[in-house]
Every structure is written in structure tokens, then in C-alpha cells.
Amino acid sequence: MNFSTKTVLASVAGVFFLFYLIGVYWSFEPDTIDIKASVTQAASAENVAPVVGYTTTTALINVTETLLDKPGGYLSNDVLPPSVFLDNIPSWEFGVLEMVRDMALVMRQELSRSQSQSLENQHLKNAQPQLNIDHTSWAVPSAESEYSKAIAELYAYRSALADPATQSAQFYARADNLRAWLSEVEKRLGSYSQRLSASVGREVVNTDLAGDSVAQQSTYSAPNIAIKTSWWQIDNEFYEARGACWALLHFLKAIEIDFSDVLEKKNAKVSLQQIIRELEASQQSVWSPMILNGDGFGFLANHSLVMANYISRANAALIDLNELLSQG
């Protein structure tokens, strides 16, 4: 092997090692955001008093901005190395994005409207579809550009909320509005719990038509269904659920502030705090270099089942909270 060949090989190895280090750095998940401090800072900068809805809107802005501003920026639509070789953090981004989309939709349809036939807020009407662009779109338009436009609309909505002279922007902190959002979150968490539990593979009874003797479905389904997540998708499912929990944690902390009176009246604040505690536990550091998939009580841990446990407990508490809010 001559000198030039050794030089080329050393250069290639050096480039791959550099890409590896960058990839590791970009794969670090962002820390949780101090929502109260962020609201105080934003209100001070705008010289306004935080009104009802200001905190929830700020949480939505901060969570969405984190997708674009974290180390490496937004990676899900990258087509160049090293980010094109990463899959954990893009999965995390998608989990965050799913929660952001749900919150934006409920804010547009429920939280900003007093009745079903009242007008939509124009800023939210613009922002919500911009958040629904294909998360892998990298050009004309890119996902980042659309998300940036949505963030700008959310800033405009937040400013209008705090402006006493603007009547077109409102945020209604009512129990029925909160229940509408919680119902969406229940479905998300239930799905994540099932997908994470499928990491070990199991056979379940088909309960799709349970509870209704005359219920029908489009095509036949077997009475027993075998579900198992592909070995290649286990870490993706884990990090998507982890990202969703990260975003939801911030939204619930904001809800605790904006809906404080509603929660106090229903004596439901402690229930919300328990959900927050479960989600905080789901964000503990992962010390293993890879997501393990031990079987049952085997020798290796199963990180997916641990995450599913936290999510299931949070979802159970969420269902109880929703039921509590429905009571007079």
C-alpha cells in the first residue's frame, strides 16, 4: 500500500469519525423548558401581562421552536450526512410534532372559539395547516420554512391575546374545551402504549367490536391477532413516544396555569400533577448505548416496556381527569 492510498484511507476514516461525533452530539435530546420562566421573559419583553391562554400559546411556540433550534436543527428532512444516517432523533422529532399538531388543531377549533359556529382566529387558521406539511419535505416548501411561518402566526396570536384592544383573539379556559384536547391526547398515549408493548410480540384477542352486539366493520378480522414490532423499528417507536411525552409534559404544565381555576373548581389539580410526574419519569436519561428488547423477565431489560408503563399510567390518570372534568 503506497503513501497516497494510506492518506486517502486515513482521510476517509477521519471524515467518518467526524460524522460519528457530530451524529452523537445531534442525537442528544433537548432539556425540558421552564415554561413559567419563559412566560415571564416573553411578557416582560412585550410589556404585557400574561392573560389566559398566554402560557399555553407560549408552550406551543417554545416546543415548536425547539424542533428548529436544537443542536443540528430539524433533522427529519435532511438528505446529507451525517443526519441522513440518524433515526432516533428524527423519530423523537416526529413524536413532538404529533403533539404539536394536536394542540394546534384543538386551539384552532376549540380553545379559541366560544361556540361551534363562532369564527376561527385567522392566525391559528394559518398556523395549523402549516404544521401539517410532510415532516420529511426538504424543498419547495421545506418543512422548516412552513414551521417557521406557523411559529410567526402563533407569536401574532399571542400578542393579540394580550392586547386589550383586540377582541378577535380569545382563549376560552373552560372544562369542555380542556376535555376536547384531553380526548385527543388519550388516543395518542393509548396508541404509543400498544406499539411499545408490541416490542416483545404477543397474541391479543380482537376487541374491535366489543360492547355492541350489532356493530360491524368493513372487512373480516381474525379473532386473535399477533402483534410484534420489527427489531429494526423498536428504537424508532421508543424515541417517537419519548418525544411525544416530552412535548405533552410542557403542554400540561401550561394547562395547569391557564386552567387553574377550572382545575381548582373540579378539585382536579392533583390529578394533573400526577400525570406530569409520570411524564417526567419517562424523560429519565437512557444510559444504555442502545434500546434493549429483553423478553419478559429475561436477562436483558426492555426499555420499550418501561416506557409503555409510564405512558399507560399517565393515560389512566388522564382518563380519570377527563371523567372528573365532565362532572358538574
Per-residue pLDDT of the chain (328 residues; tens, 9 = 90+): 566 888 888 888 998 889 889 988 999 999 999 999 999 999 999 999 999 999 999 999 999 999 999 999 999 999 888 888 888 999 999 999 999 999 999 999 999 998 777 889 999 999 999 999 999 998 889 999 999 999 999 999 999 999 998 888 999 999 999 999 999 999 999 999 989 988 776 656 666 666 666 677 777 776 666 566 676 778 999 999 999 999 999 999 999 999 999 999 999 999 999 999 999 999 998 888 788 877 766 677 888 889 999 999 999 999 999 999 988 6
Residue 264 forms part of a structural domain:
yes
Residue 295 forms part of a structural domain:
yes
pLDDT at 291: 84
Write the single-letter amino acid at 118: S
Grid cell, residue 37, equals 420562566
pLDDT at 217: 78
Residue 194 forms part of a structural domain:
yes
Residue the block writes with cell 406499539: 195
Residue 61 forms part of a structural domain:
yes
Cα 131 to its chain centre, rounded Å, is 13
pLDDT at 261: 95
Residue 14 forms part of a structural domain:
no
Q: What single DSSP character describes residue 195?
A: H
pLDDT at 56: 98
Quick check: helix, strand or coil at residue 138? strand
Residue 109 forms part of a structural domain:
yes
Q: Are 132 and 64 in contact (CB under 8 A)?
A: no
Residue 12 forms part of a structural domain:
no
Residue 248 forms part of a structural domain:
yes
- Count Cβ neighbours within 10 Å for each residue of 115-143 and write b for 16 or more, e otherwise: eeeeeebebbebbbebbebebeeeeeeeb
Give the domain extent around 75: 31-204+223-327
Q: Are 320 and 312 in contact (CB under 8 A)?
A: no
Grid cell, residue 15, equals 471524515
> Residue 198 CB: number of other CB atoms within 10 A?
20
pLDDT at 205: 63
Q: What single DSSP character describes residue 29?
A: P
Structural domains of the chain, count:
1
pLDDT at 310: 95
Most distant CA atoms of the chain, gap in Å: 84
Q: How many angstroms separate the CA atoms of 111 and 124, rounded?
A: 11
Write the single-letter amino acid at 221: S
> Residue 224 CB: number of other CB atoms within 10 A?
9
Q: How many angstroms separate the CA atoms of 96 and 27, rounded?
A: 15
Q: How many angstroms separate the CA atoms of 242 and 248, rounded?
A: 10
- Relative to beta strand 224-227, strand 202-205 is antiparallel
Q: How many angstroms separate the CA atoms of 283 and 286, rounded?
A: 8
